[in-house]
Amino acid sequence: MSDLKRHPSQLRVVPEPTGKVTKADRTRAVILNAALEFIWSHPFRELSVNSLMASTDLSRAAFYQYFEDIHKLMETLLHMLADEIFASANIWIEGVGDPVALLNEAFEGLTRSCYQHGPFLRAVSDASTTDERFETSWKQFLGAFDDAGNARIKADQAQGLIATFDSRPVIFALNRVNAHTFIDAFGQRPRKQPKPIQKALARIWISTLYGAQYVEKGASNLIRK
């Protein structure tokens, strides 16, 4: 998607302002945004090429100029969401200083993104159960967070900030708790209030990785270099 950019606050696609914006760029953006709008008010099982394109001024044939099928379109949207979520997660993954404070800050952004895009999260999770290709994409999506989180835990263990244990199954479990909780809390209306969800997940992560003594303060005397 080199010819498009992501709008960070609403996960909307707009043509890239630099360079020449073509009709194809605009058309592809219209289709992607129509899918996002549809998912907000309909379950994924109701999303079809016909229902999607009926919400635009474009023909059904226009869809197939850009996407092989609905699941390919969903894969594109999933990659967009991954970029946004990683931007928040990287506060903890790549930041220096107090790792507990960094983790709390990361969860603020993660919760905000997942609250905004909860129905889409549910849609991509549902899609992974009906299509082998999308199942692979969903696993890769989660696996990317596993790999980054595992590397971060190992680095913090090397600095003496986290106790020694096998980090791979721990980060696997923590990330699956996140995914399930965000989807259940924000995947359909009425959505749950985001702050209690944020606090609950941060509590689980902080107490598991750095120690329960830091949960209430949301900060520690630990210093990551």
Instruction: Give tens-digit pLDDT for 57-101.
Output: 999 999 999 999 988 898 888 888 899 999 999 999 999 999 999
For residue 192, give both structure tokens: 């749950």
State the Cα–Cα distance between residues 32 and 215, nearest whole angstrom: 40
Mean per-residue pLDDT for 41-69? 93
Percentage of residues in the chain having pLDDT higher than 70: 91
Greater confidence (135 vs 110) lies with 110
Task: Quickly state the pLDDT bin for 19 (edges 50, 70, 90).
Answer: low
Q: What does the pLDDT average to over 93-116?
A: 97
Burial (CB count within 10 angstroms: exposed 0-12, middle 13-18, buried 19+), residue 135: middle
Tens digit of pLDDT for each residue in 179-220?
A: 999 999 999 889 999 999 999 999 999 999 999 999 999 999
Computed on alpha carbons and rounded to an integer, the radius of gyration of the chain in Å comes to 19
The domain locations on the chain are 4-64, 70-214
Q: Phi/psi at 132 (nearest 5 deg)?
A: -65, -35
CATH topology of domain 70-214: Tetracycline Repressor; domain 2 (1.10.357)
Residue 13: pLDDT over 80: no
pLDDT of 177 above 90: yes
State the DSSP H helix or E strand holding residue 157, giving kind and residue range, or none if neither: helix 132-158
Is residue 99 classed as helix, strand or coil in its secondary structure?
Answer: helix
pLDDT band for position 15 (cuts 50, 70, 90): low
Mean pLDDT across the stretch 167-173? 98
pLDDT score at 12: 57
Which pLDDT score is estimated for 113?
A: 93
